[in-house]
């Protein structure tokens, strides 16, 4: 069952130029911009320009060209933010209710610029 994409989500509106963003870089199939509520000195979101809900939707349904472009854009963000080569970073994507995804357009968070702590809190 394909996931339904909501074209009114905020990242779709950014892609349509309806609301501004602080662009880090743009490629033919991807856009990277600063998170509006940064959780670390580096907090960049990388999104595909295509209408994909989350990571597995993108991995399953995007074209090879889109997937390569997206991954190369992520690598470029790591480079231009000084995270890699550098002291490192964390790349996170949230999906669905358990992932606590807020914006239903696939995005990868690239965080860095400080020690980020453990990956996830224990439930117990
Ligand atoms: P997620 O919980 O993984 O869906 O993350 C959504 C992220 O989008 C959050 O970190 C928000 O701070 C960020 N965000 C929401 N609106 C904007 C916006 N207009 N520009 C940049 N980042 C945004």
- State the pairing for strand pair 30-34/42-48: antiparallel
Q: In what order do the strands lie in the sheet with 89-92?
A: 23-26, 30-34, 42-48, 108-112, 89-92
Residue 25 in any domain: the answer is yes
Let me know if residue 94 belongs to a domain. yes
For ligand 1, say whether the CB of 35 is within 6 Å of any of its atoms: yes
Closest alpha carbon to 12 in 91, 95, 103: 103
- Does 58 fall in a domain? yes
Quote the ligand 1 centre to 123 CA distance (angstroms): 25
Measured from the CB, is residue 51 less than 6 Å from ligand 1? no
Q: Is 78 contained in some domain?
A: yes
- Ligand 1, residue 92: give the atom nearest the CA: 3
Ligand 1 centroid from CA 46, angstroms: 11
Whether 2 maps to a domain, the answer reads no
Residue 18 near ligand 1, beta carbon < 6 Å: no
CA distances from 95 to 4, 89, 113 (A): 14, 20, 24
Residue 71 resides in a domain = yes
Enclosing domain of residue 51 = 10-112
Our count of domains for the chain comes to 1
- The domain that contains 64 carries what CATH number? 3.30.428.10
77 occurs within a structural domain? yes
Ligand 1 centroid–CA 86 distance in Å is 25
pLDDT at 1: 65
Can you list the alpha helix ranges (DSSP code H) found in the chain?
A: 10-15, 55-61, 64-80
Consecutive 10-residue runs of the chain (124 residues): their mean pLDDT? 91 98 98 98 98 98 98 98 98 97 98 94 78
Contact 82, 57 (CB under 8 A): no
Interval between CA 37 and ligand 1 midpoint (Å): 7
Q: Which residues are catalytic?
A: 107
The answer to whether residue 3 is domain-embedded is: no
For 75-108, give the DSSP string: HHHHHHTTIIIII-EEEE---TTTTT--SSS--E
Contact 55 CB / ligand 1 (< 6 Å) = no
Distances (CA, A) of 109 to 2, 4, 11, 106, 116: 24, 22, 13, 10, 13
End-to-end CA distance of the chain: 34
- The owner of tokens 């870089």 is 25
């Amino acid at each position: 069952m394909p996931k339904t994409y909501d074209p009114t989500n905020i990242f779709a509106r950014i892609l349509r130029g309806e609301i501004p963003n602080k662009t880090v870089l743009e490629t033919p199939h991807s856009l990277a911009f600063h998170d509006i509520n940064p959780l670390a000195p580096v907090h960049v979101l990388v999104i595909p320009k295509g209408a994909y809900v989350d990571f597995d939707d993108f991995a399953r349904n995007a074209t090879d060209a889109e997937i390569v472009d997206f991954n190369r854009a992520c690598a470029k963000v790591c480079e231009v933010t000084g995270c890699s080569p550098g002291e490192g970073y964390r790349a996170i994507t949230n999906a669905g209710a358990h992932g606590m995804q807020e914006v239903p357009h696939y995005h990868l968070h690239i965080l860095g610029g400080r020690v980020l702590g453990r990956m996830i809190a224990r439930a117990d």
